[in-house]
Amino acid sequence: MRHVLSVLVENEPGVLSRVVGLFSGRGFNIETLNVGPTLEDGLSLMTITTSGEEQIIEQITKQLRKLVTVVKVVDLTHLQSVEREMVLIKVNAEDERRAEVLRIADIFRCKVVDVSGNDLTLEITGDQGKIRAIVSLLQRFGIKEFARTGTVAMRRSMQVD
Amino acid sequence: MERTGAQILLECLLQEGVESIFGFPGGAVIDIYHHLPDYPALRHFLVRHEQGAIHAADGYARATGRVGVCLVTSGPGATNTVTGIATAYMDSIPVVIITGQVPTPLIGNDAFQEVDIVGISRPCVKHNYLVKDVKDLAWIIKQAFYLARTGRPGPVLVDLPKDVLQAKTVFEYPESISMRSYNPNLAPNRRQVRKVTELLRRSRRPLVYSGGGVISSDAAEELTWLCRTLRIPVTSTLMGLGAFPGDDPLWLGMLGMHGTYAANMAVGHTDLLLAVGARFDDRVTGKISSFAPSAQVVHIDVDPTSIRKNVNVDVPIVADCRQALRGIREELEICSDLPDWSEAHQSWLEQVSEWQRDHPLRYTFSEEPIKPQFVVEKIYELTKGEAIITTEVGQNQMWAAQFSKFHRPRTFLTSGGLGTMGYGFPAAIGAQVAFPDKLVIDIAGDGSIQMNIQEMATAVSYNIPVKIVILNNGYLGMVRQWQELFYAKNYCATCMHLNPDFVKLAEAYGAAGFRVTKAADVERVLKEAFAVPGPAIVDVVVEPEENVYPMVPAGAALTDMLLV
Ligand SMILES: Cc1ncc(C[n+]2csc(CCOP(=O)(O)OP(=O)(O)O)c2C)c(N)n1
């Protein structure tokens, strides 16, 4: 099962390789990984998506907590959380198909961030489902370039069930 | 007053109560060595290879329970310690490794003798540091020692660039440490402890399986109390030997691949397995799915990652072993309706002693060639468990574990997790430095001893009277045993043709050398060797094709043992 881990770490040289090395050295898999500084000096937040059986995920979170530079690990999977990913897609959009691409972009609330005679570059944010949907819709036009950030996630303030 | 980084480091070591350093110099650490003579309280032992330094620091740490210290230069000096760092990491041994590094402006430029030791060692240290500013040096050293010895102990490496060692600042040693990301949990959870006592009360066939964690948390006394009071039989891992008296009738011997019949059968039949400071290593469990098949499992470990890593656990207790065992004792002491333990466990204890009686460890005696097991028995007889025994790796290690008895923790030092050939001799040097008046014996194989034999020069030059007993079978015996049993006797690359003459080798270094070929002479020669004032090698020519039994083939169930 896919899990989203929110990992607060000391922002110091080598911390990323400690985390990544833990995954590779123990044969765990990383699907996406995203890192950035937090508002608090000296701390960064990583969002890691990974998958595996419960026992593996338990090991991953415990092993992460054991790293001296890791301050906190939260598995967001069983919490209500907001998940977003940003993707840039450069898609073929010659004259006769441009309108159609733009209409799809509009439906998905994409932003057009670059244009040329032959293509359009779209910026999309959304959860995995939305990204998958637009990618599959745009594929028939021909995707020339594709760049994604990996998931960032945050626990919702209200945990209603 | 301002001091250089090198001086500050040495001041820090003093503050940490360090008295012995095992090291080897080089350009990057020359500043440290320059100031070392000003600190006579810090005794430095010059080894002959950096692997010797780290193993010696590790042996010192295992024998004393204190942090071992190793000091080496950058580049090749640092990489030579990696095997020893991994050895200490796998067995959770507290050591601090100080490595020199090229000056900070050169880092990353492929400078002379530059290596990214922080990167190389990352997977096998508890933590490591590159010090970039002399102002950070004191607190980093403080943290390094703190991390090495607290929680689950382990090696911590500090990489020191040469310009940091030369830069100056005022020395102030921080009094306390606060790390928001490191707070090992030491006290057991009361509710879990209560569950354990409840299980103990109900169990009819309990078994304690103890490991190195009992030794590193100094919990031997608590463990012994629990087992003796509740009449619970005890088995342990290789790393746990010595935590429970080896002559107690409740002692079953080691479990696992070369464990005793009684221990492995007990695991197969217990209804309550109390695992204390042990990590369910594959050499111990054999086939996981048939490990302790009818037992509820209690697992006490200070490291949460150990729990449920390999086996499912019914009651996990994340705590220091000693505190957890004390907690159980306190809980039991307030219970009013405890069973009569001897009565409750009577038929189980009878069953266990029947296994012990029917399948003890055994071998067939022969006068010539000598049987290696006989040599180990003789060593035990002569030392009565008063010696510190180290081992190399292979058959020698298993026979040492099987045929000696250990009564006290920290008297058996061996590379359990990594299985590092070449460990025993330098570790013996480290232990002997800590206990100059004790008899320290490395039980060795003819293959392993050649991996760090150069440390004989260290032993001779400081008159460290370690005794090496080589069980010389002319083979890389343990591998040959596997080839014999599982690879159709294809003895490829395991015959040690042209071993050196170990007697002459000892003499060439200025140590004493002895050779024995007949069982009748073993006792006399061992006595003689133990009596010489300096280091000595006893080369015992043993049966070349003797095997270690019982044996559970890798991946088989513990109860599927090959007996003698
Ligand atoms: C550094 C290292 N290299 C290789 C091995 C693999 N290995 C395990 S036991 C063994 C044989 C050891 O031979 P010897 O020291 O003569 O001891 P014996 O088994 O004969 O007692 C070998 C090669 C190891 N454990 N460590």
Please indicate, yes or no, whether the overall pTM of this predicted structure exceeds 0.90.
yes
Q: Say which residues have a Cβ less than 8 Å from residue B346's Cβ, sequence separation at least 6.
A: none
The pLDDT score that the predictor gives to residue B481 is 98
pLDDT at B564: 79
Inter-chain contact B122–A65, Cβ cutoff 8 Å? no
> ipTM of this predicted complex?
0.90
Q: Contact B181/A68, CB-based, under 8 Å?
A: yes
Contact B60, B33 (CB under 8 A): no
Distance CA A15, CA A20 (A): 9
What is chain B's mean pLDDT, rounded? 97
Determine whether the interchain pair A62/B123 forms a contact, defined as Cβ–Cβ distance below 8 Å: no
- Nearest C-alpha in A relative to B125: A67
Identify the pLDDT of residue B497: 86
| Rounded CA separation A129/A126 (Å) | 8
Hey, what are A140's tokens?
A: 């028939």
CA angle, residues A99, A102, A107, in degrees to nearest 5: 125
Tell me the C-alpha distance between B444 and B427, whole Å: 12
CB-based burial, B435-451: b 16+ in 10 Å, e otherwise: eeebbbbbbbbbbbbbb
Residue B564: how many CB atoms within 10 A of its CB? 12
CA distances from B246 to A137, B17, B62, B65, B215 (A): 72, 33, 19, 21, 15
pLDDT at A161: 73
Name the burial class of residue B120, with classes exposed (0-12), middle (13-18) and buried (19+) by CB atoms within 10 angstroms of its CB.
middle
Minimal-distance CA residue of chain A relative to B181: A71
Å between A45 CA and nearest CA of chain B: 14
At residue B545's C-alpha, the angle toward residues B539 and B551, to 5°, is 110
Question: Chain B closest CA to A135's CA: distance in Å?
Answer: 38
Nearest-CA neighbor of B98 among B150, B47, B159? B159
Residues in chain A: 161
Residue of A nearest to B318 (CA): A62
Q: How many CB atoms lie within 10 A of CB A85?
A: 21
Percentage of chain B modeled with pLDDT above 90: 98
The alpha carbons of chain B give a radius of gyration, in whole angstroms, of 24
| Rounded CA separation B447/B471 (Å) | 10
Give residue ranges with CB within 6 A of ligand 1: B 392-396, 419-421, 445-448, 471, 473, 475-479
For chain A, helix, strand, coil in percent to 5 are 35, 40, 25
Question: Under DSSP, is residue B554 helix (H, G, I), strand (E, B) or coil?
Answer: coil
> What are the tens digits of pLDDT across the range A83-122?
999 999 999 999 899 999 999 999 999 999 999 999 999 9
Residues in chain B, total: 564
Mutate to test the pocket of ligand 1, among B257, B258, B403, B448 (most ligand atoms within 8 A of CB): B448
Residue A10 to residue B181, Cβ atoms within 8 A = yes
Q: Hey, what are B264's tokens?
A: 């492995």
Catalytic residue among B7, B11, B24, B50: B50
pLDDT at A143 over 90: yes
Cβ–Cβ under 8 Å, residues B394 and B223:
no
Nearest to B122 among A18, A65, A66 (CB): A18
Question: What does the pLDDT look like over B147-166, one tens digit per residue?
Answer: 999 999 999 999 999 999 99
pLDDT at A15 over 80: yes
What gap in Å lies between CA B544 and CA B453, rounded to an integer?
21
Active site residue B561: no
| Average pLDDT estimate for B252-261 | 97
**Half-sphere exposure of B182 toward its Cβ, with a 13 Å CA cutoff?**
19
Mean pLDDT of B476-500: 96
The closest alpha carbon to B157, from B189, B133, B124, B183, belongs to: B124
Beta bridge partners of A35: A46
Q: Which long-range contacts (C-beta less than 8 Å, at least 24 apart) are formed by A54-60? A: A54/A1, A55/B308, A56/A28, A57/A1, A57/A3, A58/B308, A59/A26, A59/A28, A59/B305, A59/B308, A59/B309, A60/A3, A60/A5, A60/A23, A60/A28
Q: What is the pLDDT of residue B1?
A: 87
Active site residue B113: yes
Q: How far apart are CA B511 and CA B202, in angstroms?
A: 58
Q: How many CB pairs under 8 A join A and B?
A: 36
Number of H helices, E strands in chain A: 4, 9
Ligand 1 centre distance from Cα of residue B466 (Å):
21
Ligand 1 atom closest to B471 (CA): 21
Residues B540 and B522: beta-carbon distance below 8 Å: yes
Per-residue pLDDT averaged across B525-539, rounded? 98
DSSP secondary structure letter of residue B357? H
Token pair in block for residue B452:
């760090």
Quote the radius of gyration of chain A (alpha carbons, Å): 19
Residue (of B72, B133, B76) closest to B97 by Cα position: B72
User: What number of H helices and E strands is found in chain B?
Assistant: 23, 20
Measured distance CA(A124)–CA(A105) in Å, rounded: 9
The pLDDT value recorded for residue B336 is: 84
Query: For residues A36 and A43, what is the distance between their CA atoms, to the nearest angstrom?
Result: 9
pLDDT digits (tens, 9 = 90+) for B444-477: 999 999 999 999 999 999 999 999 999 999 999 9
Amino acid at B484: E
Task: Please state, in angstroms and rounded to a whole number, the distance separating the CA atoms of residues B544 and B521.
Answer: 18
Report the distance separating Cα B162 and Cα B282, nearest Å: 43
d(CA A115, CA A103): 15
Chain A residues lying within 8 Å of B127, measured CB to CB: 68-69
Q: How far is ligand 1, taken at its centre, from the CA of residue B394, in Å? A: 5
pLDDT, average across residues B537-551:
98
d(CA B400, CA B256): 15
Task: Please give the order of strands across the beta sheet that includes B467-472.
Answer: B412-413, B388-391, B440-445, B467-472, B536-541, B512-516
Closest C-alpha residue for ligand 1 atom 20: B477
Whole-number pLDDT of residue B178? 87
Confidence of residue B535 (pLDDT cuts 50, 70, 90): very high
Helices (H), B235-345: 261-269, 282-285, 321-334, 341-344
Q: Which residue has the higher pLDDT, B337 or A69?
A: A69
- Say whether B162 is catalytic: yes
> Nearest residue on chain B to A64, judged by CA atoms?
B305
Report pLDDT for B547. 98
Contact A62 B130 (CB under 8 A): no
Q: Among residues B478, B496, B551, B561, which one is catalytic?
A: B478
